[in-house]
Amino acid sequence: MNDTGIGYLQELERVIEQRKAATAAQSYTASLYAAGPSRIAQKVGEEAVELALASVQGDRRRTLSEAADLVYHLLVLLRYHDLTLADVAHELSQRQR
């Protein structure tokens, strides 16, 4: 995982998919999957609120950190439902029409 551009997110999707098979003790990602969609959705919501608050407070560093947390948890939620960022991009592109 050396790419730090947008391509990194596709690599992160692959890592998340691989970690689904791990035990909860081995991987935070696996522990989220073991807890189920309600817990994953809760984490997405928590991170979204934390991001919003950091943004309103004008804390640039924390905004970035919370955005990263939100994107990670969003990817976990998407992969839980067998969706990808490419699916999201396709959906967004359809809205342009």
Please report, in angstroms and rounded to a whole number, the separation of the first and last CA atoms in the chain. 35
CATH number at residue 45: 1.10.287.1080
Per-residue pLDDT of 18-54, as tens digits, reads 999 899 999 999 999 999 999 999 999 999 999 999 9
4 lies in some domain: no
Burial of 83: CB neighbours in 10 Å, binned 0-12, 13-18, 19+: middle
pTM: 0.91
76 lies in some domain: yes
- 85-94 and 7-19 are packed helices; what angle lies between their axes, rounded to 10 degrees? 130
Calculate mean pLDDT across residues 66-80.
98
Given this model, what pLDDT does residue 67 score? 98
Q: How many structural domains compose the chain?
A: 1
For residue 89, is pLDDT > 90? yes
CA 81 to chain centre: 12
80 lies in some domain: yes
Of 46, 35, 93, residue with least CA distance to 72: 46
For residue 3, is pLDDT > 80? no
51 lies in some domain: yes
CB 78 within 8 Å of CB 10: no
40 lies in some domain: yes
Range of the domain at 22: 10-94
